[in-house]
Structure 1
């Protein structure tokens, strides 16, 4: 699978695009408007600096070659025209994902394999909206994919086992360590562990127990961890926890989503990738 199309160029979508191109894949980056896509060169510059900082074998020449393998378009039919595999990284809303896959199903070639990068939603909740559910599954990435390079592969009961293995091999080809999830699990392995931790930090903040900085400080000093929950929120970006919390049955999660919207998202403080989140970054 040489030709990859990524739907969504946000924090994680852009990382999947860049990492795949860095690994030698030809990548089409799709988003809803040319205005959104016009911001990608700035994002590539940010990622180039990160790769040079974090990867011993990264060179300017390799990074420039990666960018040359990326093509951006806001035309969905064009984006899908020769895709061997599509990875969807649109907002974490079941309705948005279902609508996206209905459109993709109508346009993609028969050869195309479909993968969602959903953080918490089950493939079986989206599969009915795909016209080839046997070729649909989840491929989930951790944030900062060039360093934290897990690729969690999770099918639904109707996923073809050979497609499952093809996607696991693809994950390895783009530098991920494939983690085979043997049954559907909301949050896979990673987020089944991470989300309760982040929710606990958010609850302490919402209830006024301590500031984000002091919550992070407590966790790091007491456990030796390099990051606290709010530093992790900044890496993930504000949009994902906002979408996860805004319609939650839990009033604390809803209030946290409201705080994110009012005090951070509406003020352009979208997380580390934007330079500002709970913390400010150079």
Structure 2
């Protein structure tokens, strides 16, 4: 394995999962984030799900935590020994540009860079790095210990050897590597999923139907275990806002401004989704957990 020391930049909902999954798989992990306390809270909150879903012992869980060797707000400290950096920062070109320019100056020449960006393709960010041959994207689905795919997408400049090293790393952290042959906005997963979520949000803001009714229709009609608003609660309002704002920037469709305003109302009330205890549903006992949820 070409990589030993892994740095995760940004430990939000997904970044914290990537960090813990990597550490649990035996790699030494450093986390770079501006809020150390929130990182520790998110990591601790993952343990019950890992224990329940993967039937892990307390000893195995602790071994994973022990492999997170550093949580720091200092980028130079975070990447000084890094073989591989996975960036999971907010979906903002300005934020990513600033980060990659700082990362390029701080990281050793050996270090491979990857973005977990769900919105941008590698060619939109590659000009921000000093090593285009060692840059690509590695995109994870939420709840990665269960939805264990890693979508891997390079640019025409990505070294094939580096690409293969990332494929091997994905397997080493128990992901199924999904190798993309060319750039595609949304990869495979979001190219299919995001139009669904966008359509559901539009139905909501246009008052066609409420979120629970939309979810019921989708679940009954397709036999899907989750409705779009259940998925949105997992993704979280912060990520949904970024997605909607990017859509508006690309299309200038006024409906996205309406969705943006409604989501900001939820955020202002502290209703960020499953992580905060309320989004479109109330947790830990959401309405869809009622055995009669799909009944008339």
Scaled to the shorter chain, the TM-score interval is: over 0.9
Task: Map 1:227-266; keep pairs closer than 5 Å.
Answer: 227-246=226-245, 248=248, 249-262=252-265, 264-266=266-268
Tell me the secondary structure at the aligned position of residue 101 of structure 1: helix
Quick check: 236-245 or 17-26, which moved more? 236-245
Quick check: 272-281 or 59-68, which moved more? 272-281
Task: Map 1:28-177; keep pairs closer than 5 Å.
Answer: 28-32=30-34, 36-56=35-55, 58-70=56-68, 71-177=70-176
Tell me the secondary structure at the aligned position of residue 246 of structure 1: helix
Distance 1:251 1:131 in 2: 38
Distance 2:149 2:198 in 1: 22
Tell me the secondary structure at the aligned position of residue 38 of structure 1: helix
Distance 1:17 1:269 in 2: 25
The question of 1:189 aligning with 2:188 is answered yes
1:94 Cα offset (Å): 1.6
1:243 Cα offset (Å): 1.2
Q: Which residue of 1 aligns with 2:281?
A: 279
Contact 1:140 1:151 in 2 (8 A): yes
1:40 Cα offset (Å): 2.6
Gaps of 5+ in 1: none
Contact 1:234 1:272 in 2 (8 A): yes
RMSD: 1.1
Contact 1:120 1:186 in 2 (8 A): yes
1:52 Cα offset (Å): 1.4
Match of 2:27 among 17, 25, 38: 25
1:97 Cα offset (Å): 1.1
Distance 1:246 1:164 in 2: 31
Tell me the secondary structure at the aligned position of residue 259 of structure 1: helix
Query: Which of the two has higher C-alpha Rg?
Result: 2
Distance 1:39 1:233 in 2: 21
Contact 1:246 1:258 in 2 (8 A): no
Quick check: 248-257 or 84-93, which moved more? 248-257
Tell me the secondary structure at the aligned position of residue 8 of structure 2: strand
1:95 Cα offset (Å): 1.7
The two structures have a TM-score, normalised by structure 2, of 0.91
Contact 1:120 1:188 in 2 (8 A): no
1:180 Cα offset (Å): 0.3
Tell me the secondary structure at the aligned position of residue 39 of structure 1: helix
1:274 Cα offset (Å): 2.4
Q: Which residue of 1 aligns with 2:291?
A: none
Distance 1:104 1:255 in 2: 36
Deviations 1:179-207 (A, max 9, x none): 10000000000100001111110110010
